[in-house]
Structure formats: structure tokens, C-alpha cells
Amino acid sequence: MKRVLVTGSLGYLGSVLTGYLAECGFDCVGYDTGFFKGSVLYPPPPTRTVFRDARNLTEADLKNVDVVVHLAGISNDPVGKLDAARVYDPTRVYSLTIARLCKRLGVKFIFASSCSVYGLGEDEFLAETSATHPQTFYSLNKLQIEEDLALISDKEFSPMALRFATVFGPSPRIRFDVVVNMLTGMAVANGTIVLNSNGLSWRPNLHILDACEAIRRAIELDYRQGELLILNVGADKNNLQVIEIAHIIQRAVPGCELKFLVDNPELDKEGLIRDRKIKSGGDTRTYKVSFDRIKQVLPEFECKWNVEQGVRNMATLLKELPLSVEIFKSRGFYRLQQLEYLHANGYLSDELFWRKPVEQL
């Protein structure tokens, strides 16, 4: 039985992945610093968790570990008034440190990257060899970590970078700050979908269970080519414009209205919907992605979920909870707002280390 260590195990994807891998027969342990420990929509599956910052992992943590799945990182814009380098540079440093530990100990290393590294793409479908144009510090950080991994790859160490499409779908620690989840949550909780842009930008989308299955297949792959393997993870059918996603959700949640934030700024008094990267209703981040290579490298992997199926499933779950407006707007389901709150209230230092304990986040 392979032993898998997952960093960032109490995040959105990690909270589903650890249980998924355990069900698949892996001996799985999660490591997490706990920023979102209490941000729970429904009970998570029982999994072993070590509360430790990824910056503090040592050789001892990797003893008897076969694979590290590295999810830990910062998922949004820089926190508050902190300089972007101060937020993202440590992520790059500890990712490389963990990768080097894995190389020294003969541990397989799988890095959760992002299709957002492409940033801009007109009508072409972008492949792993296409030019990258990251539009955010988050995307640039992912690309920099990939570059670092490529530099330490050799015949003894063959890491993998999975460039995930935008993940959506239910999780015990759901994110309502990603497009499909946000719009579905709005429709269920409030009967209104509010777009923070004109909706014309393209996004590749990936159901959270398909993301977990891709990681499982990557763990099982015997890859020893001596260089970083980069794979786009998703399906061509899930490349959609944001406005198309909104219409899919309208069909899944009959009666919900579609509005635009630029015309209705009063609909976002809490600042949860607006995106600091969108100016004058336009979003420069628009790209369609090709997923041909993953079909060749992982032929047994196939996305089982399309956006319409995923939206219907998630809408049903959110109605059954039920999801109220108050719960939908809870700070813990929005990465940037949660981290800004913890930092502004003295729980986190400027380096995002814990300064004082938190009983319930």
C-alpha cells in the first residue's frame, strides 16, 4: 500500500482528496497549517491530519512516504496591503525545499499547478507547449514553481505538474470564490446570479472528483523520464464562457435572475463578488485549453463530469443543506477575505505565520 502525504489537506481540494485516496486504498496523511480548519459547510470525512505549516516540513515527515501531493499555497491576490513578493516568494521557496527533500529520499512529487498560467489565449486551444502569459501573482507563482522543478529534474527525479482547470463542485470546505461554485451558490441562496464581468471570457472547468481521479492516476503512473512532466487536467467539453455557465445554472435553478455587478453595485455590499483583477466589466484572463496530452499519458483517466451535470448535482446538495444567504456569505468560504481577516486581526504575521491560537476560524 502506497503512503501518500498531501500538503494543504484542509483546503478546498484537499478536504475531498484525502478521503478519496483513502477509499482508493492508499495510506493517506494530510498536512495543513489550519487557515480554513473551521470553514466547514458539511462534515468532512475523518482523515489523519498533522497541523503543520508546509514551511516546516522535514525529512522526518517524509519517512516511509512514497508520494507527496503538494496542494499547499496561496490561492488569491496578496493579502491586504502586503507586498505580493512577501506573500508568494515563501510559497516558491518551501515548494522547492519539499521537492528537494523528495528527491533526496526517492519520494515521488506531484505539484498542483494551474491552467491559469496561460492567462491569455484568443481562439486557440492552449497545450502544454503553448506560451504562458500569467495575469496574476498566483499564476506567476505556479509557473515559477514549475520552472524550479524543471531545474532539479534529472534521471533520479521526475516530478509532475498537473495544470488543473478551474475546479468546481462540492467540498466540506467549499470555495465560493471560484466561478461555478459562486454562481451556483448565488442562485440557490438568493435566487439571483450576479456576474462581476461581462461574462465573455473563456475558462476551462474541472469537477473536483475528476481532479481527485487525475491525482490518483498520476500517483499510479510509473514515470521516470528524468524531466518535469506537465499535464493539463480537464476536458475540452468543459471549456466555456462565463456567460454560458450562468445560463447553465439558470436552467438548473429555475426562476433565478441574471444581473451584472457593473449595473448593480449595491448587490455586493460585502465585496465578495467583485474581483480586483476585473476592470470596467472586462476580464483579461480568457483562455481555452487542450487536454489531448493527458489522454495519451494517462489513458485510463477521463473526466466523468461536465459542467451541467456538476451544477445540477451541486444545486441539489446546496438546496438540501439548505444554503442560506448568511452561510453563502460566510467569510471562511472566501480565501482572500479569510486571510485578510486573520492578518488584520493579528492572528497571522506579515509572513502569514500564526501569532496566536484560534479556537474556531
Low-confidence ranges of the chain (pLDDT < 50): 280-281, 360-361
The sheet carrying 48-51 orders its strands as 48-51, 27-32, 3-7, 67-70, 108-114, 160-164, 229-233
**The dihedral sign for the CA sequence 82, 93, 143, 170:** negative
Task: Write the DSSP string, 132-192.
Answer: ----SHHHHHHHHHHHHHHHH-BTTB--EEEEEPEEES--TT--SSSHHHHHHHHHHHHSE
The reply to whether 254 falls in a domain is no
User: Would you state the pLDDT for residue 326?
Assistant: 97
The reply to whether 77 falls in a domain is yes
Q: How far apart are CA 8 and CA 22, in angstroms?
A: 16
For residue 235, what are the domain limits? 3-241+278-344
The reply to whether 350 falls in a domain is no
Question: For the segment 61-114, what is each residue's pLDDT rounded down to a tens digit?
Answer: 999 999 999 999 998 766 777 888 888 999 999 999 999 999 999 999 999 999
The reply to whether 357 falls in a domain is no
| Cα–Cα distance list, 219 to 109, 111, 135 (Å) | 9, 11, 30
- The number of angstroms, rounded, from the C-alpha of 129 to the middle of its chain's C-alpha atoms is 22
User: Would you state the pLDDT for residue 162?
Assistant: 99
pTM score, whole prediction: 0.94
The reply to whether 57 falls in a domain is yes
- How many Å from the N-terminal Cα to the C-terminal Cα in the chain? 35
The reply to whether 108 falls in a domain is yes
Q: Which residues pair with 240 in a beta bridge?
A: 203
The reply to whether 111 falls in a domain is yes
**What amino acid occupies position 340?**
E
Domain total of the chain = 1
In this structure, what CATH number is given to the domain that contains residue 231?
A: 3.40.50.720
Q: How far apart are CA 111 and CA 85, in angstroms?
A: 20
The reply to whether 162 falls in a domain is yes
Query: What count of residues does the chain have?
Result: 361
